[in-house]
A and B are shown apart, each in its own frame.
Chain A
Amino acid sequence: MAEQAILSARDLDFFYGAAQALRHITLDIPAGRVTALIGPSGCGKSTFLRTINRMNDLVPGTRMAGSLTFQGQEIYAPGLDVTALRRRVGMVFQKPNPFPMSIYDNVAYGPRTHGERRRARLDELVETSLRAAAIWEEVRDRLKKSALGLSGGQQQRLCIARALAVEPEVLLMDEATSALDPISTARIEDLIGSLKERYTIVMVTHNMQQALRVSDRTAFFLSGELVEFSPTERLFSMPRDQRTEDYITGRFG
């Protein structure tokens, strides 16, 4: 295998109570690449994404089986430090959700949580994160102003900056552009392209054009199963599975 897998699922099952949301998922997510998860609503994309940083722990009565590893470490190992995991695996949500605080405090929140108190270091982290999220120029003069005064697209880039500020290795994005206008979406797609040099990105999207534009690999989910996982261009030009072809040509979904 040429590419190094940073995340590996082996026969991963996931249950909400008695309902099974993921069935025998086996895939390797390559480091330093953008992996897109596509599939019809309810097929388990978000569920899979949220097993990676264990956000599913918040839902009572859930259960997993099989194996899911991050850099060789079992994510669901008993006694695993979930906060340390989430620090290394950041997440951007569908709806922009900046805290009702200043722009600066939003970005500094993560580093402060992890014990960073030095003012100079925080200033530096805030600036580099905002620059990396391509929003620095727009907010440099209003860092002390409330983040809620930003536009939706700016808020989402701020949320990306906030996630980057804890210096994660993986960034999970769950339909991060679906609440945004086309221009903001294009900016975030550009941003994803520039981030993949330093981060592994796993993104859920309903927009197949978007998957095609920004991702290196695409995984097609259907009813909790992984149907096909291929290099993006190949999946869209020469799908191996009939169901993939039906979905990408819009015959169902």
Chain B
Amino acid sequence: MKRRIKPAEFAMQTLFLVCGLTAIAFVLLITVYLILAGLPAIREIGLTDFLLGRTWASTHATDPRFGILPMILTSVYGAAGAIVLGVPVGFFTALFLAKAAPPRLAGLIRPAVNLLAGIPSVVYGLVGMCVLVPALRAWLDLPAGDTLLAAMIVLAVMILPSVISVSDAALAAVPREYEEASLALGATPVETYLRVTAPAARGGVAAAVALGVGRAIGEAMAILMVAGNVANMPSLLSSVRFLTTGIAIEMNYAAPGSLQRQALFSIGLVLFFFIMVINILLNLALKRGREG
């Protein structure tokens, strides 16, 4: 049986379809472009030398090296550090908001958290550079405060809003019946939140972690300003270069067609791959969270 569709209806449906296809087209375009642009350098340098090489000396006149292991590890450590610092703080903030805070206080904190999410990353970088970096240098008595630690702290603050709002939603969705059962058994409210509510929300918390990792891996501007940007093998109190900042720093002056420039695209490809994996994990976590 044929359904008669009104012209206006048809036009709108076509518009929706075109918009949806555009989004998909962009994803495909970026993917294809990154692969095409990123593969030549990897082929020339060699996959293992590129991924596992410990030296990045892209502008060396006679013996340039293109090993990005320092940047990979820095990005991984940086994200891990941001998670270790940011997730507990974010989670407990969410627990407080969802369960313990008086409604009026929660009504004050939630907009503040959303505001935090809206601050441009360059502002985080500025504050990190002008406040955090000098403070770290003074406290830890370092020659310079631009360190992996500084970047971790900035990233931790930057992922807070998403960790808080995702955890908040997951905790608020925990059925009230679980908490009542726990209280009726003589558990205190705090015991109840920690032993019943939080475990019941673990899918959402996993999603918050994955979201945080994605943000931390992908951030460039803020950490560019606080990490020092020397492509060292990472250690907590030394100057480091991330995958993102590695691209951002050298793209300005890498000559078109040079191996250096091509290698920067290869870094982009690696970064893209990381983000893809994290997104898949995030989707799995969200699905698990929804299924309880």
Chain A residues within CB distance 8 Å of chain B = 53, 55, 58, 83-87, 90-91, 93, 95, 97-101, 109-110, 113-114, 148, 159, 162-163, 166
Contacts and interface: CB of A to CB of B under 8 A. Distances in A.
Interface of B: 175, 177-178, 180-188, 191, 195-196, 199-200, 292
A110 B186 contact: yes
Contact of A109 (B182, B188, B292): B182
B181 A159 contact: yes
A87 B185 CA distance: 6
B195 A55 contact: no
Nearest to A109: B185
A120 B227 CA distance: 53
Contacts of A95: 177
Nearest to A113: B187
Nearest to A83: B186
B178 A83 contact: no
Contact of B186 (A98, A100, A166): A166
Given A95-B177, A113-B191, A58 B183 contact: yes
A93 B178 contact: no
A113 B186 contact: yes
A212 B182 CA distance: 31
17 contacts: A53-B184, A86-B184, A87-B186, A90-B185, A95-B177, A97-B175, A97-B181, A99-B196, A100-B200, A109-B185, A113-B182, A113-B186, A113-B191, A148-B292, A159-B181, A162-B181, A163-B184
A153 to B, nearest CB: 17
B185 A163 contact: yes
A200 to B, nearest CB: 16
Contacts of B191: 113
Q: Which 8 A-B residue pairings sit nearest by Cβ, starting from the closest?
A: A87-B186, A97-B177, A91-B184, A110-B185, A86-B186, A83-B186, A113-B187, A97-B181
B200 to A, nearest CB: 5
Contacts of B178: 97, 99-100
A140 B157 CA distance: 48
A91 B183 CA distance: 10
Contact of A99 (B181, B184, B186, B188): B181
B180 A97 contact: yes
Given A86-B184, A87-B185, A101-B199, 10 more contacts: A55-B180, A84-B186, A86-B185, A93-B177, A93-B181, A99-B196, A99-B200, A110-B186, A113-B182, A159-B181
B183 A86 contact: yes
Contacts of B292: 100, 148
Contacts of A109: 182, 185, 187, 195
Contacts of A113: 182, 185-187, 191, 195
A100 B203 CA distance: 12
A40 B177 CA distance: 24
Nearest to A159: B181
A39 to B, nearest CB: 22
B183 A55 contact: yes
A178 to B, nearest CB: 15
A55 B196 contact: no
A114 B186 CA distance: 8
Contacts of A159: 181
Contacts of A58: 180, 183
A110 B175 CA distance: 19
Contacts of A90: 184-185
Nearest to A94: B177
A110 B181 CA distance: 10
A101 B202 CA distance: 12
A95 B177 CA distance: 8
A109 B195 CA distance: 9
* Interface core residue of B182, B191, B200 (most chain A CB under 10 Å): B182
Contacts of B188: 83
Contacts of B180: 55, 58, 93, 97
A166 B196 contact: no
